[in-house]
Amino acid sequence: MRTIRCDILICGGGLAGLSLLYRAMKSGIWENEQIIVVDQSDKNENDKTWSFWKSRPSDFDDVIQHQWKELVFYSNAGNRIPLNCAGYTYNSIKSLDFYLYVQSYLHQFPNVSFIKDEITGIGSFGDECSLTTLNHSYTARYLFNSVYRKPELKKGQQYFMQHFKGARIKISSAIPELSEAYLMDFRTGQANGTTFFYTLPMAKDEVFVEYTLFSKSLLQTAEYDKAIEDYLRGVLKIEDYEILEEEFGVIPMTDYNFKRFEGNIVHLGTAGGDTRASTGYTFTNLQKTIGKVLDTYKSEGHPFFKEENIGLKQQLYDSALLSVLDGKKYPGHRLFSDLFSSCPAYRIFAFLDAETSLVQDLKIMTSLKVIPFLQSFALAVYSRLRS
């Protein structure tokens, strides 16, 4: 098998790998490095939608498809809660738009190569990294990996899945006015776990709805479709519609302690712990991690930054929340209703972005039922001390 040498290997050409490379080349940090990106896909299809809140400009504002300033929360009982976002917007990016935008920029650089092949393994030995595919092997000084594999959990660790089916629909008859985005709409059955809809108006005659569950098992395909149909007809009062596009995904929500660095391998995205265990959101945390990688590379000549954005404090909070959901003593729909009815949304967003102080954290935590969280938090601390 032929071995190819380069300076930097990027294992996985999705959001994490391409964001890293785009930002590195934009900044000029890697202009003299030979870089190889390996992925089993050409990334020429719209395979997912990334949604996130933000309060400041980002590197990918040019590919934001839609942005909403007005957000609403609906409880399971149907209570409508307008959210005070105070400068935050909710944003959506289609993956194909992102792929085309980033690739069109990166293809101009002769020191960047894209390889389509199935990855069979990665490793680190001394000051070198290796990547093997079905057809070749590669070596480099640093390897950035975003290919996720489910970890082997230790006793007591939680592993929920955020699984969802989304549909972009076109309305042929009059649509009830949807000027606001429904960040979480719990007006649906809760028998299968914490269950809600994202409802995002895309145009006067288009809306995107996503049926989302936090649970430890998936549903049958027909169950997702039935829930979407019931929501459209029963809640939104939309009878006549055409499905333009669909997507399905599964995001791990786990308190497993992911390793960021293994030798000269740097794990990014869900594989590196950038997915917030309590929500499944990844986009903003990933971009912060990439910023740390590039800042350290620029100042010190290596990517090994010291302080994580999702630190021990946030990890313990998330572990406690997952434990509460697992115990089923505090239903998820009630938990999130208590949270959004007691705290302004902008403070919750900052909390979930790890941008709040301990005092602010306590104000948020006390808006929930105290006893379940105290018990679960103590258990999370004990489990972390033992590991």
Task: Give the whole-angstrom CA distance, residue 277 versus residue 54.
Answer: 19
Instruction: Return the pLDDT at 187.
Output: 97
**pLDDT tens, position by position, 205-246:** 899 999 999 999 999 999 999 999 999 999 999 988 999 999
Q: What is the mean pLDDT of residues 279-306?
A: 96
Bridging pattern class, strands 112-116 and 35-39: parallel
Prediction pTM value: 0.93
Segment 139-183, tens digit of pLDDT: 999 999 999 999 999 888 899 999 999 999 999 865 666 779 999
Q: Answer whether 36's CB lies under 8 Å from 138's CB.
A: yes
Phi, psi for 249 (deg, rounded to 5): -155, 160
Segment 245-274 shows an average pLDDT of 96
Token readout for 304 is 């090994």
pLDDT in tens, 321-337: 899 899 888 899 999 99
Q: Is 206 exposed, middle or buried (0-12, 13-18, 19+ CB in 10 A)?
A: middle
* CA separation for the pair 85, 344 (Å, rounded): 7
What is the phi/psi pair of residue 38, to 5°? Answer: -120, 130
How many angstroms separate the CA atoms of 218 and 192, rounded? 9
Residue 67 has pLDDT above 70, yes or no: yes
Please give the Cα distance from 158 to 168 (Å, whole number). Answer: 32
At 308 the pLDDT is: 95
In the predicted model, what is the mean pLDDT of the chain?
92
Query: What span, in angstroms and rounded, lies between the C-alpha atoms of 78 and 8?
Result: 52
pLDDT at 29: 95
Q: Alpha-carbon distance 33 to 8, whole Å?
A: 7
Q: Which neighbouring-strand residues pair with 49?
A: 94
pLDDT higher at 317 or 75: 75
Residue 14's pLDDT is 95
Query: pLDDT of 334-355, one tens digit each?
Result: 999 999 999 999 999 999 999 9
